[in-house]
Amino acid sequence: MRLSLQHPIKPCIWLILMCLHVLVLNTLTSYAQGTYPIQRPNANTPNTTEGSPNRDSTVALPEIARNTIFIEGLGNGITYSVNVERLLTPNWSVRAGFGTFALDIRVPFTDLVALRGSFVSVPLTTSYLLNLGGSASNLEFGVGITPIFTVATLTAPIVGNVPAAFATVLGTGVIGYRLQPLSGGFNFRIGLTPIALLSPFFLPLPSVGIGLGYTFGGF
């Protein structure tokens, strides 16, 4: 039996173009708008009441860019995925992605019996970022699910071509390293991304992932 996996990029071109469009529009304003308005007392302005700080004497610290677009190889999307991620707080993030690949299983030396189909994966994860010393480096710990949708055709003598469709949900996680500057810029991540079959029985499988992207603010 021969098993071959292909990675058609064309179904993702529209998503990549849309993400790039959002990236260009929002990067222009990401350094002028405060995504998380963190404030600190102004040391040059005296308190109006002894023991009580002046509420108007604050200055804004640099913004935290909370939007990321990245492409991940292997990882939570099984083969690859195009992803959008957003920081809910400086330490918590949520992510959604899209990946697709083709499956072609044939009996050796013949095309009389074959299973051909397309798979779509939708990785959905949430992660906690443990910052390392106030730098752009973080340890990432995350959990999530990856729904898998499949449309396939079974080819065999007598029955001919039999269409089939099914869906399943895999459990997944993240344990790794992430480079993500708070003010935005180049984003890099690498780590363990284990997946697990949840039904009809539990079957954990090892996996790794590496991602490259860009972090920006603006909204």
DSSP 8-state code for residue 132: S
Q: What is the pTM (predicted TM-score) of this model?
A: 0.70
How is residue 96 written in tokens?
Answer: 């959604």
CATH 2.40.160.20 fits 2-30+65-216, yes or no: yes
Confidence of residue 40 (pLDDT cuts 50, 70, 90): very low
- pLDDT classification of 30: cutoffs 50, 70, 90: very low
Domain boundary assignment for the chain: 2-30+65-216
CA distances, 161 to each of 77, 101, 109, 126, 170 (Å): 29, 21, 19, 41, 28
Query: For the chain, what percent of residues have pLDDT higher than 70?
Result: 71
150-163 pLDDT per residue, tens: 998 888 887 778 88
